[in-house]
Chains A and B, each alone.
Chain A
Amino acid sequence: MTAQALASLSEEVLLEIRGLEKSFGGVKAVSDVSMDLRAGIVTTLVGPNGAGKTTLFNLITGHLTHSGGSVRWLGRDIGGMKPYRIARLGIARTFQDLRLFKDMTVEENILTVMEPGALPFSFTGPSAREKRERVARVMERTGLADKARTRAVDLAYAERKFLSLARIMAAKARLWLLDEPASGLDPNSYATFLRLLREEVAAGVTVCIIEHNLDIVVGSSDRIAFLDRGRLLADGDPKTVLEDPELTKIYFGDRV
């Protein structure tokens, strides 16, 4: 894993974060964070609650505007851009609270992310048949095929998490920001999730995950970034970061 991670350090930098700051009132939620997300690397953000992990995602996707520093996508400054514009560049995300389109069916939830345009028809996007096939394939892979016509609100918990994943799979983004995608999953569902993630990474997707379960982190990431109180305390390969006694103390300190 380490060798692989080192080898891929030569990979193209997709997202470059420099000196990123965000304060809410007087509280610094993100403070002087700098990091690169390189193509093909799975990065996991860990850190105690309130460390600023989700805030960092919101700053990248434009749901929040930073108060200092810069975010660059393939060299282009995307700070202050509207979320839909950032999304169209190839950055997609999931939400901790999923935010499914609850009154729409599973099929429609997946279909609608392939149709960002505002007009009721499109000449440039994929054809209706292509979209249908893509929806079917994504539902098949996420195990939702027999729930195609079920509304999102009527799904069980694990199915909702897979629908959230199915949406991002259908969106054809280069960079995925996943906010606790595996939390609350039973072992079987978890194995499926991991398999899907690996397949997508192998197919060229770059992933950044927020995760609490350290077993998952070690097993599925090339690199760990440790955040605490808005600061990036460590950034490196999983073993080194997780074996650092200082960080372990911070991470488990609020639980023991």
Chain B
Amino acid sequence: MEAYLLNLGVLVSIYAILAVTLNFIMGYAGIFSLAHAVFFGVGAYVGAQVGMHFSASLIVTIPAAMAVSAVLSLMLALPALRVRGEYFVAASLGLQMLAVTVFSEWKGMTGGIGGLIGIPAVRMFGEDIYRPAAFFPLAAGAAILVLIVTRLLVRSSLGRSLTAIRDSESAAESFGKNVALIKTISVVVSAALAAVAGVLYANYLSFINVESFTLDTSVLVMAMVIIGGTGTALGPIVGAALLLLLPGMLSYLWFLPQTQIGAIQQIIYGLGMAVLMIFRPGGLVGRSGARRRTRKAGGGK
């Protein structure tokens, strides 16, 4: 039971890193990416390969994964600069599809559909860290660190520039802001930090394959951000916890037919999303005044 909860804690921490980093570009730069799982995957594969062939130390694997992810994220930054709104969503979807193909075909790097097995565990203080009890503090610590880094950035001049660009790109430009460069930096930062989640994931499970880095994951992470509260500090973490704990919690409800739990879960998700968007469109943590604000902003000149 305890191991089960700690295991969930690890997964929540890893997904919280993904949600927090996606929120950084969604909530502050207005870049709605459906390709976030790509950088999760890149981080996992690079972390695994470096771990298997060079060193399993996080001091080596994490920087390597972040660097590769940062460079590849320029592929996402390019469409982000040229197209906006729903067009960018479509462009990021394309990148996600492309990545899944590469993940499942490039056997030398990713092990193809079969994936990579035997990824070494993290070694710290002379011990292999793979048991949930030992890994949970590591994953939670990483999530907190990523949260702190993104908060500091949001509160810096970069964060203000991003929000300014989101609110009015032309006004931001006419006060000297290099929109292309600022957006690119935000995408690179987001992707590099998302890679941290990938490294932890690979080390923890010691087995990865393309299934974990598909569009489903991108959609799940985006749902975590939206349900928790886009553009809020803690919303993405609340969203990650809720969406990962819900399936487990349902199985404790004795009156539900256990064989149908999957279908019931989907119904609850669907209903929950619809109700949430009607009553709290800003997300669970978002400002409750979000609706009024939107109406006012729309009505004002």
Contact = CB atoms under 8 A, between A and B. Distances in A.
B185 interface: yes
Report which residue of B152, B164, B171 has the largest number of chain A beta carbons within 10 angstroms of its beta carbon: B171
A115 B158 CA distance: 9
Main secondary structure of the interface of B (DSSP, over half): helix
Interface string B168-211: 10111111111101100100000000000000000000000000
Nearest to A91: B174
A113 B293 contact: no
Contact size class for B?
20 to 34
A120 B174 contact: no
A78 to B, nearest CB: 13
Nearest to B178: A84
B212 interface: no
Interface residues of A, number: 35
B301 A97 contact: yes
Contact of B174 (A83, A97, A98, A115): A83
Contact of A63 (B166, B174, B175, B293): B174
A120 B157 CA distance: 5
Interface in B139-181: 152-153, 156-161, 163-164, 166-168, 170-179, 181
A154 B294 CA distance: 11
Nearest to B153: A120
Contact of B178 (A93, A98, A99, A118): A118
B193 to A, nearest CB: 14
Contacts of B301: 97-98
Contacts of B176: 84, 87-88, 113, 116, 171
B297 interface: yes
A83 B160 contact: no
Contacts of B53: none
Nearest to B297: A153
Contact of A104 (B167, B173, B300): B167
Contacts of B164: 101, 104, 109, 112
Nearest to B183: A118
Report which residue of B159, B172, B174, B296 has the largest number of chain A beta carbons within 10 angstroms of its beta carbon: B174
A169 to B, nearest CB: 12
Interface in A56-88: 61, 63, 82-84, 87-88
Given A61-B174, A84-B179, A118-B181, A100 B161 contact: no
Contacts of A154: 293, 296
B82 to A, nearest CB: 15
Given A112-B157, A120-B159, A153-B293, A100 B175 contact: no
A92 B296 CA distance: 28
A119 interface: yes
Nearest to A95: B171
24 contacts: A82-B173, A84-B174, A84-B177, A84-B178, A84-B179, A87-B176, A88-B176, A92-B174, A99-B171, A100-B168, A101-B171, A102-B297, A112-B160, A115-B161, A116-B175, A116-B176, A118-B178, A120-B153, A120-B157, A120-B159, A122-B157, A153-B293, A153-B300, A154-B293
Interface of B: 152-153, 156-161, 163-164, 166-168, 170-179, 181-182, 185, 293, 296-297, 300-301
Given A102-B297, A167-B175, 14 more contacts: A63-B174, A84-B173, A84-B176, A87-B173, A93-B174, A99-B168, A100-B171, A103-B166, A113-B175, A116-B178, A118-B181, A121-B156, A121-B157, A153-B296
